[in-house]
Amino acid sequence: MYNLENPYLSIVVVVRNDDYGGRLLDKIQVFINSIYELANRYRIYIEIIFVEWNPPKENKLLKECLIFPSSNYCFSRFILVPRELHEFLNKNPKIYLYEYLGKNVGIRRAKGEFILITNPDNLIGEGIFRKVSSMNLQHGIFYRAGRYNINQVIDPNLKYYKFYLEFAKKHIIDWRGYILYYSGNKWFIKYNPIKWIKDFWVNILSLIPKYYPYFPPALCTPGDFILMSKKDWFKVKGFLERIPYSYTGGDGVLIHWLLVNNLKQVYWINNPFTKDTCLYSQPQNNRKKEYTLSLEEQNIYFEILKNKSSFRWNDDDWGLRRYDLEEFIL
């Protein structure tokens, strides 16, 4: 029996009140408002876990800057990773937040039977909530979904989810997922056909021998949406915590690790007409150029495939298990 003490779903994000990407508080407020509204609508017991990593000393904690709607189905937990602990763990003074280590902190402390890893600048499509509300999620499977990029930040004062979604659909600029999408009564192809054929060869067909017996996984924006059972997250021990992989390419490395641990990938296909089984990613003013894999990270992919379960992953203390971290419930 699910309830607020025993939620069906935990949603984990890593945050820091440094206005990364611009208008960060507005983006997080939209994230909160939409999840609370859809949890109430579909009667899904959900906890949102905000892992607040290395909060800037000059700014308030995020829980003091946000509004939390009333709900009988959703609540928020803030888990604080203090500056002192970050400095103890940190091997690069230019890095202020370790996203994937932070996500492990949330996974390790989550209460839900299933755990979704995402980012707080995403608007989650209603179709995803419909699938989750069916209570048909399975163990042994990790679920993925694609993402639209939009070019305007959603105003949280629009208040209701349907207005958030309408606004997002009007400001689509790109799709990160399968090739075709539909917008404004027109079909769009992410790449021109000649380039798509070339990319299909480079990214899929040429990799089949290297990945055999696994089919080359979908590696487009995996860090935005990975959903699987808590049991399976604990089986694989979360994201790889070895620096630098916990900072940049940790999501792609994880996908390979899930495959060799015999977890099946299910990619939720977005309906190109309703455009709701997906995410909408709000713009970031200081977003770096699109991330590409380094040779070192490609090597670790194939090292995982070669060594399989004998690959050196995390120890039993993954997710900062030994640390008693301060927590706030709202």
Per-residue pLDDT at 295: 66
Per-residue pLDDT at 196: 52
Dist CA 31 CA 326 (whole Å)? 23
Query: pLDDT of 247-283, one tens digit each?
Result: 567 888 898 899 889 998 888 877 777 888 999 999 9
Residue 170 is part of which domain span? 9-329
Q: 289 lies in a domain?
A: yes
Cβ atoms of residues 254 and 124 within 8 Å: no
Confidence of residue 105 (pLDDT cuts 50, 70, 90): very high
Q: 1 lies in a domain?
A: no
CA distance to 219, 255, 269, per residue, from 294 (Å): 14, 16, 29
Q: 114 lies in a domain?
A: yes
Query: pLDDT of 111-170, one tens digit each?
Result: 999 999 999 999 999 999 999 999 999 999 999 998 889 999 999 999 899 999 999 999
Task: Look at the pTM and tell me if it is higher than 0.95.
Answer: no
Dist CA 132 CA 8 (whole Å)? 9
* DSSP secondary structure letters along 189-226: ESS-HHHHHHHHHHHTGGGHHHHTTSPPP--SSGGG-E
Q: 270 lies in a domain?
A: yes
Residue 204, domain CATH: 3.90.550.10
Q: 139 lies in a domain?
A: yes
Share of the chain above pLDDT 90, in %: 62
Count CB atoms within 10 A of the CB of residue 314. 18
Per-residue pLDDT at 303: 86
Query: pLDDT of 14-28, one tens digit each?
Result: 999 999 999 999 999
Closest CA to 229 of 103, 143, 114, 117: 114
Could you give phi then psi for residue 53, rounded to 5 degrees? Answer: -100, 125
How is residue 282 written in tokens? Answer: 């709000």
Query: pLDDT of 288-308, one tens digit each?
Result: 544 455 666 677 878 888 888
Tally of domains within the chain = 1
Confidence of residue 223 (pLDDT cuts 50, 70, 90): confident
Q: 3 lies in a domain?
A: no
